[in-house]
Amino acid sequence: MDLRKIRNMSDDELYNYLHSLTKRGNNTCIKCGKKANYVMNIQNKKKLQQKKLCMLCDNCYSELLEYLGCLDIMWD
């Protein structure tokens, strides 16, 4: 999502958008809306908490890794 669109949202639109990010049954990429294959989690080891941040498709996941300058872990 474009940051300019987020900045121009009303309070209700922002509230609904933030809640849509954390829906457990959501299987669509938060960036482009395609079918998602990757789940991005946030972990708080101090409080032993974990929360789903969002889901990403293959292309958006690759773009994120490229932007961060890191490689994916091979789990095989």
Beta strands in the chain (DSSP E): 38-44, 49-56
Q: Tokens 């969002």 identify what position?
A: 54
Residue 76 or 73, more confident: 73
Quote the percentage of the chain above a pLDDT of 90.
Answer: 16
Percent of the chain with pLDDT strictly greater than 70 = 89
Give this prediction's pTM. 0.58
The tokens of 15 are what? 């509230």
The predicted model gives 50-67 an average pLDDT of 87
CA neighbor of 53 nearest in space, from 72, 29, 71: 29
- Assess contact for 36 and 56: CB atoms under 8 A: yes
Q: Cα-flanking dihedrals φ and ψ of residue 72, to 5°?
A: -75, 155
Per-residue pLDDT tens for 5-22? 888 989 998 888 777 766
pLDDT at 22: 64
